[in-house]
Amino acid sequence: LKAYSDADWAGCPSTRRSTSRYCVFLSDNLISWSSKRQHTISRSSAEAGYRGVANAVAETAWIQNLLLELHSSLHTAT
């Protein structure tokens, strides 16, 4: 299970809100993705990135728990 995330800082010129994106792969298969404008205005690119990583971690944890409920084994999570 692998997750990748990305975020821009103040990418929307009118609202100055950032956009977070992530994708989650199981082996070579894309199983989840998202691209959303953040609800709050970030004060730095690090803050925007942190919010994006938090979204990716939440989704990855949910998928990992789902796979455990389905009795599907994961060797490692990255």
User: Which residue range forms the structural domain that includes residue 54?
Assistant: 2-69
Whether residue 75 is contained in a domain is answered as no
Whether residue 76 is contained in a domain is answered as no
Q: Can you tell me the distance from the alpha carbon of 69 to that of 64, in angstroms, rounded to the nearest whole number?
A: 9
Whether residue 44 is contained in a domain is answered as yes
pLDDT digits (tens, 9 = 90+) for 4-60: 999 999 888 888 999 999 999 999 999 999 999 999 999 999 999 999 999 999 999
Alpha helices in 1-78 (DSSP H): 45-69
- Is pLDDT of 73 > 80? no
- Is pLDDT of 77 > 60? no
Whether residue 62 is contained in a domain is answered as yes
Tokens representing 41?
């205005």
Whether residue 78 is contained in a domain is answered as no
Nearest partner of 5 among 40, 44, 28, 36, judged by Cα: 36
Whether residue 63 is contained in a domain is answered as yes
Whether residue 77 is contained in a domain is answered as no
Whether residue 18 is contained in a domain is answered as yes
Higher pLDDT, 75 or 18: 18
Total domain count for the chain? 1
